[in-house]
Amino acid sequence: MEPAMAQSSATGSVFGTVEAPAGSLINLTNLETGLKRSSDVATNGRYQVTALPPGRYKVELMRNNAVASTLEVEVFAGQGANASFGTMAAVQVTGRRNRIDVSNTNNGAVFSAKELAKLPVQANLTSIVLLAPNTTKADTAYGGASFGGGGASENAFYLNGFSITNPLTQLGSMELPFGAIQQASVITGGFGAEFGRSIGGVMNVTTKSGTNNWEAGAMYSAEPNRARASRRNIHYEKTGYVDNANTDGKLHYRRDLDEVHAFQYGAYMGGPLIKDKLFMFFAADQTITKQNGLPTLLSEGTAFTTTERDGWRSRRSLESRWVGKIDFNITDNHRVEFTSAGDDWRERVQRYGFTLAGSDKAAAQAALNGAPNNTLYSSLVTRNPGPTGINPGPPGAKVNMLKYIGNLTDDLTLTALFGRLKSERGVTYEHGFGGAQVPPSVTVPAVANRVPELDAQGLYKSFNPFTGNLSKPGSDEVKSFRLDLEYKWGDHTIRGGLDSHDIDITSAGLATSGGSAWSYRKVAAGRECLPTNLSNARPAIVCNFGGFGTRGYYARQRVFSSITDAKAEQTAQYIEDRWQFNKNLLLTFGLRNEQYSNTTGDGDKFIDVKDQIAPRLSASWDVNGDASLKVFGSMGRYHLQLPGQVAARAASRSTLTDQDFTYTGIDPNTGVPTGLTPINVAQSPDGETGSRKPPQSVVVKDLKPNYQDELTLGFEKAWSPDLNFGLKGTYRKLGAGIDDSCDTRILYDFALKNGIPVVSKDYMNCFIFNPGKDVTIWVDGHDAAGNPIVSGKGKYANFSAAEIGSPKAKREYTALDMFLEHPLRNGWYGRINYTLSRSKGNMEGQTRSDTGQTDVGTSAGWDYPEFAANSEGLLPNDRKHQLKLFGFYQLTPEISVGGNALIQSGRPKTCLGTNEAAENGELFPPLSEEYGGPGYGAEYFWCGGKPAPRGSLGRLPTERRLDLSMTYAPNYMKGLAFKMDVFNVFNSQKVTARRETYDDGSGHGILANYGEARSLQDARSVKFTVEYNHKF
């Protein structure tokens, strides 16, 4: 593993020194493609050759037109390979890493294809990211990884220098066939001005290219269910609350019946179409995954009532990945690359009946004892949904890009890139839908919330085969252009460039299946005839409305839709000077400027952020002048744009209303309550009424950029040929955050005082702002139905940060990294990374792992100032201690073994409950006294009637994991290999996330599933692989 660096993201360089440089010349030859480059040696003995394609190079020192000395080096994308010449005349071949790379100051790691093949890692990009220090797996609601304490949406992903970040949510990227990866660079901080649109980290994947030798290969792997350990069942936690007596400690989700089979096959071929000129490479694989089991992703507080009808889930996914590449060396100084890549993921989800065993159905239901039958209830197919879509999966995409690299002179290099990325997503509803209108969605309640006599009739059921929210088929398309120039001027290497992304999104968002969703509820015992906060904090005495309300039972109807189109534009410019100040000190000065805008489905540009100025400075000191000890540091500012998805609710038309009813019965054909008596009227908690939102009322005027400042300082030492070690400190501080506020009380109050015609604060929409900053926002009127109008009296309202009441967004990440590394020598390689870190503040980022809310960039956590109390503390991605160990050993010429281990602190626990005083309007006077509280229910760091400060409840259990692999490559058939990977050898299935909502929004009682496991470590599995590679 090499330290990561960010020169050109898809090319590398060779640099070094020459003793007695007078009359010297350096010639380089790519040993795989024949590409040749040359360079003069400066009078101080230094030389540098940049913009080199990755590969093995022969470096020749020429004196008097004769070869005086020769070295062989391996060049990696984004890195510098040191080829220095002394006075001896000899041929030397360098090892994988015999010295420190003194040409970079970046944090992270680079993994080659050979290393990845020897390590036990799953075949996805996240598994590679998690090998690097300062990274941890993100919440399952978002997938991917957290870099340096940041949110999962704060990272940037590149393929051969082309951005492949998911444009809709910025969560992850498309996947690639592992057989096509030449190297993967994971940069966790300190990157130069070339990179942007990230305050987390950067992953850049370089694909393989064809060479002058034809080669081909194929592989097949299987992860059979019989070699997989049983998944741990999930039980209700013991809450001790009286209404949970029937569920506390009982089985909730049975997972030990789950079956998972995974199979993958792939092939590749590459070689010369014209020797030394034209090369091709193509790789593809397909992964088939079959999963069967009882459902485990039900809504909060639900219990099974339709097990025999639709209790068994059968999932079949097919992921097809491919990469094709053409390299054309027009001359040694002019090259063209064309890359085509794709990732298409589809999954069919079918629901079958599950026959309960025996005559005692209640006992069988409680234990979920039974067997699946072949009675199909419903079926759907989802495609490229992304981590937040219906039935989450990879976002998928197809990419085509063309790149030109021209060495216009010995000192001037031009790189130009143009490409297009398109992701097609959506859900096809098959059996159980048939094009007819389905009944409303029904959330089956916990037993405590069911009327016993109705429950005895088995009426609490959902008859909607596709419950929850549905999506429409849509697409995300990005057209990108990038231009880079590099000029070498004496001791300076000056680089500059620009790029642009035009993003077009169709049918983003979701809508309630069946038109509306019903949930059955009950007030706390003893409060049937006392005022209780219902939807939107509206107090009511439920027993006064008849029906089963006399016993505290009621139902809530929700209507939701956010489906819309959107557009976005992103541009950037940068300049950077790499100054070799003296023989041993390299200084890099950079400046980057970014701009972005977002447009609604109605064509209104609602965000237009410019002048995101980001200075960068770094230094690398080659202390001894022989690349044996490097002291390095960096400081810089980094910006992040809002994702395209933010238009779906924050700015475009959207609807979200709630209404409460008492009821006298349940329709046996639909599961919908009957005999309804309205307790209140349909109301939106945040102004989502389906009307067009004026763009100037959606975003504050002069919105400040979302940015983070970073400082790093460290050293690396090549102690001996067998040992490298180092130490690095990192400090990151969020400078400004962006989220949305739905506190329309202050807007409504302003409108009333300024004669602007308004009817209700609930008809005024949320607005995007910088928490803790002053707010200037447009306020205008609406009609009796809540539709915005141009009253002629609209005006900008100015509010101080104190009047808004939200604190400044805070996030500080501090880390100390230490590593020990045994370079690849004597048949083995090993590395140990230890990180001591803390991520603390009141904003995780654009994501909110506390609740897994999928509205990236516009979470509920900043909607009202009352939510801020006790919100500062250890953030969800904090892992105080993290130990990573990986490596491989060649036991014999035929057998090698590999290992990958992780020990890390558990995630901090959180509790979100209801603060009755805040909901009743007592905590943000005078506005709350006049217009009421937030009405959100369990959104406060307040549980059981007392504060529950973030980070004060301890941590989840320490996570431990060991993966092992063994490869057998028999001598009797060169190129043939058999491999076995064992993931999670000791089958540790610790809880990695839990349900953190404490109550039902009334401020009384405890939810039955509070504290219950939401995700656990994957059970032990074994993968068997056979592959054959042949060079012709």
Per-residue pLDDT tens over the stretch 694-703: 899 999 999 9
**pLDDT tens track for 29-55:** 999 999 999 888 888 888 888 888 888
**pLDDT tens track for 537-570:** 889 999 999 999 999 999 999 999 989 999 999 9
- DSSP, collapsed to helix, strand or coil, labels residue 93 as strand
pLDDT of residue 368: 85
pLDDT of residue 1008: 93
**Residue 88 confidence (pLDDT) above 90:** no
Distance CA(987)–CA(991), nearest Å, equals 13
Neighbours of 651 (CB within 10 A): 32
pLDDT of residue 991: 97
Neighbours of 802 (CB within 10 A): 10
Model confidence at 92, pLDDT cuts 50, 70, 90, reads: very low
More confident residue, 263 or 463: 263
**Residue 723 confidence (pLDDT) above 80:** yes
**pLDDT tens track for 787-820:** 788 889 999 999 999 999 999 999 999 999 999 9
Q: Are 896 and 889 in contact (CB under 8 A)?
A: yes
Model confidence at 6, pLDDT cuts 50, 70, 90, reads: very low
- Tokens 């060049």 found at: 75
* Residues 370-390, mean pLDDT to the nearest whole number: 89
Q: What six digits make up the tokens of 438? A: 């389905």
Distance CA(761)–CA(155), nearest Å, equals 37
pTM score:
0.90
Neighbours of 767 (CB within 10 A): 26
More confident residue, 1 or 805: 805
Model confidence at 504, pLDDT cuts 50, 70, 90, reads: very high
pLDDT of residue 626: 87
Q: Are 336 and 209 in contact (CB under 8 A)?
A: no
Cis peptide before 957 (omega within 30 of 0): no
More confident residue, 470 or 33: 33
**Residue 97 confidence (pLDDT) above 70:** no
* Residues 710-714, mean pLDDT to the nearest whole number: 96
As to burial, measured by CB atoms within 10 angstroms (0-12 exposed, 13-18 middle, 19+ buried), residue 107 is: buried
Q: Which of 480, 478, 481, 479 is nearest to 415 (CA)?
A: 481
Distance CA(386)–CA(1030), nearest Å, equals 36
Distance CA(262)–CA(265), nearest Å, equals 10
- Tokens 């005078």 found at: 926
Can you list the alpha helix ranges (DSSP code H) found in 393-433? none
Amino acid sitting at position 144: G
Distance CA(209)–CA(324), nearest Å, equals 9
DSSP string, 329-397: EEETTEEEEEEEEEEEEEEEEEEEEEEEPSS-HHHHHHHT-EEEEEEEEEEEEEES--TTSSS-----E
Report which secondary-structure segment, H or E, holds 113: helix 113-118
Provide the sign of the torsion angle of the four alpha carbons 166, 169, 170, 173, taken in this order.
negative
**Residue 974 confidence (pLDDT) above 70:** yes
**Residue 89 confidence (pLDDT) above 90:** no
**Residue 779 confidence (pLDDT) above 80:** yes
Q: Tell me the longest C-alpha to C-alpha distance in the chain.
A: 104
Give the CATH fold of the 12-93 domain. Answer: Immunoglobulin-like (2.60.40)
**Residue 95 confidence (pLDDT) above 50:** no
Q: Which of 648, 576, 654 is nearest to 617 (CA)?
A: 576
Model confidence at 398, pLDDT cuts 50, 70, 90, reads: very high
- Percent of the chain scored above 70 by pLDDT? 96
pLDDT of residue 890: 96
* Residues 247-257, mean pLDDT to the nearest whole number: 93
Q: Identify the bridge partners of residue 251 per DSSP, sorted by sequence position.
A: 235
As to burial, measured by CB atoms within 10 angstroms (0-12 exposed, 13-18 middle, 19+ buried), residue 681 is: exposed
Q: Mean pLDDT of all residues in the chain?
A: 92
pLDDT of residue 433: 53
- Percent of the chain scored above 90 by pLDDT? 75
pLDDT of residue 296: 57
* Residues 690-710, mean pLDDT to the nearest whole number: 92
Q: How many helices (H) and strands (E) does the chain have?
A: 9, 60
Which of the residue ranges 594-603, 643-652, 833-842 would you say has the lowest mean pLDDT?
643-652
**pLDDT tens track for 163-188:** 999 999 999 999 999 999 999 999 99
pLDDT of residue 258: 94
**Residue 91 confidence (pLDDT) above 80:** no
Q: What six digits make up the tokens of 821? A: 């590394």
Which of the residue ranges 56-65, 700-709, 919-928 would you say has the lowest mean pLDDT?
56-65
- Tokens 């890692």 found at: 121
Q: Any idea how long the chain is?
A: 1032
Model confidence at 435, pLDDT cuts 50, 70, 90, reads: very low
Distance CA(123)–CA(394), nearest Å, equals 13
pLDDT of residue 7: 41
Neighbours of 264 (CB within 10 A): 21
pLDDT of residue 267: 97
Q: What six digits make up the tokens of 599? A: 């447009």
* Residues 219-226, mean pLDDT to the nearest whole number: 97
**pLDDT tens track for 734-778:** 999 999 999 999 999 999 999 999 998 988 989 999 999 999 999
pLDDT of residue 360: 87
Which of the residue ranges 120-129, 613-622, 643-652 would you say has the lowest mean pLDDT?
643-652
pLDDT of residue 718: 93
pLDDT of residue 983: 98
pLDDT of residue 304: 61
Q: Identify the bridge partners of residue 734 per DSSP, sorted by sequence position.
A: 708
Model confidence at 510, pLDDT cuts 50, 70, 90, reads: confident
